[in-house]
Structure 1
Amino acid sequence: MRAAVRVRLLVFVLLGAVAVAYVGGRYAGLTGLLSSNTYKVTIELARSGGLFPRAEVDWRGTTVGRVTDMTVQRTGVLVTIEIGDRWRIPDALVAAVHNRSAVGEQYLELEPTRDGGPFLHDGSRIDQSQTSTPIEDQQLLLALHRLTTSIDTGALRTVVDQAAVALQGSGPDIANLITDWRIILEQANSSLPAQLALLASAHDVLSTQAHLAPVIAGWARDTLTVTRVLSGHAGDLTTILAAGTRAARTLNELATALQTALPPLLAGLVPVAQLLSTRVSGLEETLVALPWALASAQTPGRNGLAHFTFVGTSDPAACQQGYIPPSRWRSALDSTRSAVPPTIGCTQPGAVPRGAASVHGN
């Protein structure tokens, strides 16, 4: 084999070994040991939550560091992590332990609550109040066991049997329902831009609702009061609903019977309404004085009798303009017939409010 080929093979093997070592070191997290461009942060956890040394530390879905040490103390677990110094992470955050998969593989997720500084630095400490850990497996299994043992098997069997009876023969209807849901989802997908715009403006809507929270709470209290009142009259409501059909039928018959009589009646009321519209002030005065007069009429007088006195006044005075003057009046003894002039009548403006001159339209 020529020397040039041997050199090429040697270089290839060396490059392959370096690449494998680098990839293996990155996968095992050993590259951080060769570099000091990190800063340490300590975190107080109530319990480990399955976290282990060399576990990943993520920030917004990106690995930014590793867990380097875990120390058990009286109040919980003190975790030390190392983060690359190129990552500027706000110190207002929640350090949460999560499971990456169903079989475990826990990692630490840093979830900032703001975007700006101040930022984490070497020696920063995250209090236990800013941390969370997943529920322990034994607690989950214990809760599931309590749930399953608390179910009444007899009642569950009854529910299943009744559900089977209720759904029996409804296969086509359920198929139609599923088909309709598919159509609804397609329509919702086609209106996705409008829905996204609605979600974008939801902040303004929710802010308005938060501002109106006292009003909404008052409305809810009033609704509760109305509901309680209605619940106290449940029997009356049942009677009303039961008689509602008969009442609706009677109203329908009444409307049918009035179809021929009501239009002429309304047509006849139009002139009356026009006449009354020109006498609004007088009607108002009458309606104001009438209750007082009726109340006075109910007051008994002497011997249980009500006494009314009507005083006639000449206000306005009798109209004399437009009539035959007194000098031309006939004698009372003259019984012959005489034609009445057609133009005779009161011609004094406003003298006779109830005269022919005051008729609407004259």
Structure 2
Amino acid sequence: MNRLGKPPLTRSLALGSVLALLVTAAVWWVFYGVDQRRVVAYFDNAVGLYEGGEVRVLGVQVGSIDTVTPQPNRVRVELSVRRSLRIPADAGAAVISPSVVSGRFVQLTPVYDGGPKLAAGATIPNERTVTPVEIDEVYRSLDELSTALGPEGANSNGELSRLLRTSAKTLEGNGELISRTLRDLGEAGSTLSGSSEDLFSTVDQLQRITSNLAENDEQVRDFNSQMRDINQLLASQRDDLDTALSELALALDKVEKFVRENRGKLRSNVEQLNSVAKVLAEQNKALRETLTDAPLALGNLQNSYNAASGTLDTRANLNELRQPPLVLLCKLFKQIRPESQQGSLANVPSGLRDGCESVSSFLGNGGELLDPTETIAKLEQGSKPDLPLPLQRSSDELFQGSQGSGPKGQ
């Protein structure tokens, strides 16, 4: 017999039980605990949530509910989620009720699309959790609504009943019209949806207009004040305006009668005016030159007026008239362009035309006729002018003689 008072079999059984528990815990840790991530979420209530319930993402189970612990103003729910699943750090939790009587599960949202991840041991506060409305709350709200609309509420004097009767009479027989109106509203909504960019652009433009009006509030107020003053002025002059409009109506009636009676003459005048306008348009350049030079010409005319004698004092520039008549006529004939000589010289007497040709061939020097003024000016300057061939020799002898006598006289 053992001195300790415990049989060896009992001690062996106790030791075996402890070892089995340790092995079970190790197996659970290796195959379950290591792959799980603990998350704590706080809800306002946890109706329908139980330990072992599902945790889902987009309806797919990704974990389970470990514990549900009530607290004074909230419920602490501990969740286990697969460690390999990526969840955003700001994720929320919602209690989902697929039907009225079935159990509920916790849905994590939104789906991870980048950024920080939810760490193990993280907490989801009340601000990021939601719970469904309970059926008893719906019944309570309906009861409050019926009480508010009942005999002890809005219908205490029968106003609601009269409203319902009036509405029934108004809507009676208008079902098709209401249906068509709702259908048109739906089509209008579809049209607005298809033109959302234009609608938003219009709203943006209106917002800019209102902003500009707000920034220029003082100018808008001044404008409104001025418009008010104008309205008051027009109101005070209403009688005069009525009289003026009446007289204007009479005048317009007379004008209409005049136009109707003189339609042909007016058409003729307009056509003639059109001809005048066309002439003015064709002579546009000449008119511009006239308008440009007329002030200078009038100024010169004013300056040429001699008040003492009452005459216009002018100085004519008639250099061409100082030439001999034969030279002047022959120069005029020579200035005629070759392409127009046939038509221009046809009317010239043949004797005069032959005389110019004879003089031109006699003078030589390419037929160029001399200007007496130029010849005299060159002689005064002491230079020999270009003379015709018959006079060239005589002029050479004169110049040689004058040059030869010069030294002898000294």
The answer to whether TM tops 0.5 is no
When normalised by structure 2's length, the TM-score is: 0.40
Higher relative contact order (CA 8 A, sep 6+): 1
When normalised by structure 1's length, the TM-score is: 0.44
> Which one has a bigger Cα radius of gyration?
2
